[in-house]
Each structure stands twice: as C-alpha cells, then as structure tokens.
Amino acid sequence: MASGQLTRLQVHRDGTLHRVMPDGTEVPMPDPGPLAPRTEAEIHAAAMRDPDARPMTDEEFARMKRVPRAKTLRRALGLTQEEFAARFQIPLGTLRDWEQGRAEPDQLARAYLKVIAFDAQTVQRALTATPPLPT
C-alpha cells in the first residue's frame, strides 16, 4: 500500500476485521489477540490523549441536557408522541410533560415504562384485548 493512502476496514457481523482493497475485495485481518493489561491510570491517560473520546469533565457533564427516559423509549419504538400516548393509554399532556422535563413519572409510571421497554407488543396486546365474558 502506498504511503499516505488510507486503509479502509470493514467489520463483519461475526466481529472479524477485513481490509478493503482498492478493487473492493476484502482481506481478513489477523486476530490481534488479547490486549495487553493496563492499569486504570494508563487507561485514563490514553483516553485523555484521544481528542475524539476524551472523558467529560464534571463541568461538561453538568452542562449536558438529560433526555427523559420516556422520550428515549418512544423514539426507540419509532413512535410519535401522539402514537405512543394512544397505543399505551398515557394522556398526551402527561407524556409531553415527562418529555419536556416539566414533570417526572411517578413510581408506578416508571414501572409501566419499564414493562413497555421490555415487551411493548405484549403490553399493546394486553391493552387492546377484549376480556372474556363471564359464563
């Protein structure tokens, strides 16, 4: 490979690395084996040297805007606020308050959100099921 030319790598689903050649063919990269053990101080020093992955300072962390869990869950399910509220029978205003940080879900609502996150389809089926008629 010529000096100054970029090397393109491809990660396959099985986790193996392959070098992508200029003609598009892929050549498997050798397994580097286990990483050499490092102390916490060495790991921290390496992270501080990497401008793209530098750990945040306490001040930077404090300035970060917290994304409410309900919003993260709704987005992960690919639903609008209106769809999420209707599907899981949560008042739209309540959901908006949670997402905008004006209110926090109480303990019962947090448990409900956790169940939705675990198996949204089962929750939806349970909410739309017709109860059996007494015999």
- The pLDDT value recorded for residue 91 is 97
Number of domains in the chain: 1
Q: What is the pLDDT of residue 4?
A: 58
Which residues of the chain, if any, have pLDDT below 70?
A: 1-5, 66-67
What pTM, to 2 d.p., does this model score? 0.52
pLDDT for 44: 85
Q: Give 15's Cβ-side CA count (13 Å radius).
A: 2
Instruction: Tell whether 106 is covered by a domain.
Output: yes
Q: What pLDDT, in 10s, does the model give residues 117-134?
A: 999 999 999 999 887 778
- The answer to whether position 26 is within a domain reads no
Q: How far apart are alpha carbons 83 and 20 in whole angstroms?
A: 43
pLDDT of 67 reads 66
Query: Which residues make beta-bridge pairs with 9?
Result: 19
Residue 84 forms part of a structural domain:
yes
Q: Helix, strand, coil proportions of the chain in percent (round to 5)?
A: 45, 10, 45
For 105, which DSSP code? -
The predicted pLDDT at position 116 comes to: 95
- Whether 24 is covered by a domain: the verdict is no
SS3 assignment, position 20: strand
CATH of the domain at 114: 1.10.260.40
Tell me 130's DSSP state. P
Q: Quote the CA–CA distance of 23 and 64 in Å, as a whole number.
A: 44
Q: How far, in Å, CA of 95 to CA of 21, rounded?
A: 50
pLDDT of residue 90: 97
- Asked whether residue 31 is assigned to any structural domain, the reply reads no
